[in-house]
Amino acid sequence: MGLFAAVLIIIAIGLALPICVLWIECWAAIWGKSQLNSTLSNSTVSSQKIKVSILIPAHNEASEIGATVKALLPQLNRCDQLIVIADNCTDETAAIARQQGATVLERQNLQQRGKGYALDYGLHQLSADPPDVVVMVDADCRVEPGGIEKIAQQAATRQKPVQALYLMETPPTPSPKDSISALAFLVKNLVRPLGLTQLGQPCLLTGTGMAFPWGVLQTISLASGNIVEDMQLGLDLAIAGYAPYFCGAAQVTGVLPQQAEAATSQRTRWEHGHLQTLLTQVPRLVKAALSQQRGDLLALALDLSVPPLSLLVMLWLAATAIAGLFSLFTGIWMPTLLFSVEGILIITAIVIAWVNFGRDKISGKTLLSVPFYVLWKIPLYFAFVFKPQKDWVRTQRDSVQTPKP
């Protein structure tokens, strides 16, 4: 019995690290809320003139690319350019993008598929006359007016990568699962990066609305089929000395897929990629932090050690249930007490995030659906154990509407 109690305590200690990191980030974000709101409403940018190239990797995005290009063109200056990389497309993506006024590069290579290869192809084409800053935007996202200038100026000034605020809107007729998914996305892409910024630390890249000084991109290679290439890119750059900076003043918006199969495919790619990166890159970041004596790399390692929120809740629930049964039969309550404290921290973190950042979009009643959302994710995590997704797969698109202001 003593051995089993010790095992439970070790599990509790293991869970304590990501739970405490989550809790600290959510608390720190509170102090940045007023600053974020002020920045969003009154943000100004430098008058520095820089040359910007926007790269949009697109694979069979005929239903989305026209609206995306149309929304971005007014944000460009005369010396800027917008390039769509039509990657292994079999639809009208290239034609529609050209019709809307974008420069289009067409790439065909079925052995090297994925966003990383497409972006690398675009960068290679830019090398003959490189811009000052490269901005990367996904084909199914909308950049709020002024967003490109804000992140481009920040990147040029800081000479480091800059990540815009990337949020997901729910479909026109959202289910409770969609709302909880949007809340989880908000915690990951707004609350936690804002908390890290308040603590003076860098953030992870989140996939779209990313600005890079040209010279910084020359230090690494994007050509890979990594299913979360953006996250890996941010980590590689951080280790190379260019840790990303969070810019909440610029916002990029996507829409969660409404079709159940598309939603499952999207979440599988994101979360399997996140877990693979967590397992392989946290040790790498810690090693680099020690060898380079850099606290920012240690902060990124701690941030990356937090698994997807639903998985963290799932692990905590399972461990707490086992500990509770053990305590009932043995009278040894220490493991259960530890898990109870962790539960309070998790609930507190979620409530802080919802009250301060998500209450206007997600009702309190919807939060009651969290257990069902976690249940929906169970097969996804079992699949990671037995058959993890390793290949890049494009998510099927719904018809995306321009987000409401």
Q: What are phi and psi of 237, to 5 degrees?
A: -70, -40
Whether 366 contacts 182, CB under 8 Å: no
Ordered structural domains, the chain, with CATH:
51-131 (3.40.50), 307-386 (no CATH)
Contact assessment for residue 335 and residue 3, using Cβ atoms and an 8 Å cutoff = no
Read off the tokens for 93: 């993506």
Mean pLDDT of the chain, nearest integer: 89
Q: Which residues pair with 167 in a beta bridge?
A: 253
Q: Which residue has the higher pLDDT, 395 or 208?
A: 208
Say which DSSP state 226 is in: -
* pLDDT tens-place string over residues 109-134: 988 888 889 999 999 999 999 999 99
Q: What is the pLDDT of residues 71-80, one digit of tens each?
A: 999 999 989 9
Tokens of 221: 């290679």
pLDDT digits (tens, 9 = 90+) for 335-364: 999 999 999 999 999 999 999 999 887 888
Full-model pTM: 0.88
Q: Residue 34: its pLDDT value, please? A: 73
pLDDT at 404: 38
The whole-number average pLDDT for the span 308-323 is 94
Q: How many residues are there in the chain? A: 405
What pLDDT shows up at residue 196?
A: 96
HSE (side-chain half, CA atoms, 13 Å) at 199: 23
> What was the pLDDT predicted at 114?
83
Residues 187-202: what's their mean pLDDT? Answer: 96
